[in-house]
Amino acid sequence: ILQSYDRDVSNVLFVAGDNCSTNVKMVRTDQGKQQANAGSRRGPIPFIGCASQRLNLAVKSIRAAGELIDSVQEIMKKLWSLKLGSHLREKTELSPVIRNKTRWSSTASMIFRIRS
Protein backbone atom coordinates (compact mmCIF):
# COMPACT_ATOMS: atom_id res chain seq x y z
CA ILE A 1 0.00 0.00 0.00
CA LEU A 2 2.81 2.41 0.80
CA GLN A 3 4.20 2.02 -2.70
CA SER A 4 0.86 3.13 -4.16
CA TYR A 5 1.41 6.53 -2.53
CA ASP A 6 5.16 6.72 -3.19
CA ARG A 7 5.95 6.23 0.51
CA ASP A 8 8.17 3.84 2.41
CA VAL A 9 8.20 2.54 5.96
CA SER A 10 10.14 5.57 7.22
CA ASN A 11 6.93 7.59 6.67
CA VAL A 12 4.92 5.34 9.01
CA LEU A 13 4.65 6.59 12.58
CA PHE A 14 2.29 3.87 13.80
CA VAL A 15 -0.31 1.38 12.60
CA ALA A 16 -3.82 1.42 14.09
CA GLY A 17 -6.28 -1.43 13.79
CA ASP A 18 -8.13 -4.08 15.70
CA ASN A 19 -6.13 -6.50 17.82
CA CYS A 20 -6.55 -9.59 15.65
CA SER A 21 -3.45 -11.71 15.23
CA THR A 22 -3.44 -11.06 11.47
CA ASN A 23 -2.94 -7.32 11.95
CA VAL A 24 -0.26 -7.79 14.57
CA LYS A 25 1.57 -10.31 12.37
CA MET A 26 1.21 -8.01 9.35
CA VAL A 27 2.92 -5.19 11.21
CA ARG A 28 5.75 -7.46 12.31
CA THR A 29 6.15 -9.07 8.88
CA ASP A 30 5.88 -5.87 6.83
CA GLN A 31 8.17 -4.11 9.22
CA GLY A 32 10.88 -6.72 8.68
CA LYS A 33 10.54 -6.62 4.89
CA GLN A 34 10.42 -2.84 4.74
CA GLN A 35 13.41 -2.47 7.05
CA ALA A 36 15.42 -4.82 4.91
CA ASN A 37 14.51 -2.84 1.78
CA ALA A 38 14.62 0.71 3.16
CA GLY A 39 17.27 0.31 5.81
CA SER A 40 16.45 3.78 7.11
CA ARG A 41 14.09 3.02 9.99
CA ARG A 42 15.29 1.49 13.23
CA GLY A 43 13.08 -0.09 15.87
CA PRO A 44 9.58 -1.49 15.65
CA ILE A 45 6.59 0.24 14.13
CA PRO A 46 4.19 0.86 17.03
CA PHE A 47 0.90 -0.97 16.68
CA ILE A 48 -2.05 0.74 18.34
CA GLY A 49 -4.83 -1.75 18.85
CA CYS A 50 -8.49 -0.98 19.28
CA ALA A 51 -9.10 0.55 22.72
CA SER A 52 -12.72 -0.60 22.86
CA GLN A 53 -11.63 -4.17 22.17
CA ARG A 54 -9.03 -4.00 24.97
CA LEU A 55 -11.71 -2.62 27.31
CA ASN A 56 -14.07 -5.41 26.30
CA LEU A 57 -11.39 -8.04 27.00
CA ALA A 58 -10.65 -6.45 30.38
CA VAL A 59 -14.33 -6.46 31.35
CA LYS A 60 -14.63 -10.11 30.33
CA SER A 61 -11.64 -11.07 32.49
CA ILE A 62 -13.00 -9.07 35.43
CA ARG A 63 -16.39 -10.73 34.99
CA ALA A 64 -14.73 -14.16 35.01
CA ALA A 65 -12.79 -13.22 38.14
CA GLY A 66 -16.03 -11.96 39.69
CA GLU A 67 -17.68 -15.32 39.07
CA LEU A 68 -14.75 -17.05 40.76
CA ILE A 69 -14.93 -14.66 43.72
CA ASP A 70 -18.68 -15.31 44.01
CA SER A 71 -17.97 -19.06 44.10
CA VAL A 72 -15.37 -18.60 46.83
CA GLN A 73 -17.85 -16.44 48.77
CA GLU A 74 -20.45 -19.24 48.62
CA ILE A 75 -17.89 -21.73 49.96
CA MET A 76 -16.95 -19.37 52.77
CA LYS A 77 -20.63 -18.83 53.66
CA LYS A 78 -21.15 -22.59 53.91
CA LEU A 79 -18.06 -22.95 56.08
CA TRP A 80 -19.38 -20.12 58.27
CA SER A 81 -22.43 -22.24 59.19
CA LEU A 82 -22.54 -23.88 62.61
CA LYS A 83 -22.30 -27.49 61.40
CA LEU A 84 -19.56 -27.08 58.76
CA GLY A 85 -17.77 -24.52 60.93
CA SER A 86 -17.42 -27.08 63.73
CA HIS A 87 -15.94 -29.61 61.29
CA LEU A 88 -13.54 -26.94 60.04
CA ARG A 89 -12.46 -26.07 63.61
CA GLU A 90 -11.61 -29.75 64.18
CA LYS A 91 -9.17 -29.62 61.25
CA THR A 92 -7.65 -26.15 61.57
CA GLU A 93 -7.64 -23.03 63.68
CA LEU A 94 -8.34 -20.91 60.60
CA SER A 95 -11.84 -19.56 60.24
CA PRO A 96 -13.70 -18.60 57.07
CA VAL A 97 -13.45 -15.01 55.87
CA ILE A 98 -16.59 -13.49 54.41
CA ARG A 99 -16.36 -10.76 51.79
CA ASN A 100 -17.66 -7.27 52.44
CA LYS A 101 -18.58 -5.94 48.99
CA THR A 102 -17.66 -2.37 49.90
CA ARG A 103 -14.11 -3.28 50.90
CA TRP A 104 -11.62 -4.79 48.45
CA SER A 105 -9.36 -5.79 51.33
CA SER A 106 -11.98 -8.28 52.52
CA THR A 107 -12.10 -9.85 49.05
CA ALA A 108 -8.31 -10.20 49.07
CA SER A 109 -8.40 -11.66 52.58
CA MET A 110 -11.04 -14.17 51.53
CA ILE A 111 -9.00 -15.29 48.51
CA PHE A 112 -5.79 -15.57 50.57
CA ARG A 113 -7.64 -17.60 53.21
CA ILE A 114 -9.04 -20.14 50.75
CA ARG A 115 -5.54 -20.62 49.32
CA SER A 116 -4.10 -21.41 52.77
pLDDT per residue of the chain (116 residues) written in tens, 0 to 9: 778 888 887 887 777 777 777 776 766 665 555 544 444 444 567 777 777 777 777 778 887 888 888 898 898 899 888 888 888 888 888 888 888 877 778 888 888 888 87
The Cα 104–Cα 59 span in angstroms is 17
What pLDDT score was predicted for residue 30? 52
Residue 14 is classified by DSSP as -
Verdict on whether the full-model pTM lies above 0.75: no
* Cβ partners under 8 Å of residue 15, min gap 6: 23, 27, 45, 46, 47, 48
The helix (H) or strand (E) run that includes residue 70 is helix 51-80
Q: Given this model, what pLDDT does residue 15 score?
A: 76
**Quick one: 7 exposed, middle or buried, by C-beta within 10 A (0-12, 13-18, 19+)?**
exposed
- For residues 77 and 110, is the Cβ–Cβ distance under 8 A? no
Residue pair 97/72 in contact (Cβ under 8 Å)? The answer is: no
Q: Which distant-in-sequence residues (6+ apart) come within 8 Å of 47 by Cβ?
A: 14, 15, 16, 17, 23, 24, 27
| Residue 84 burial by Cβ neighbours in a 10 Å radius (0-12, 13-18, 19+) | middle
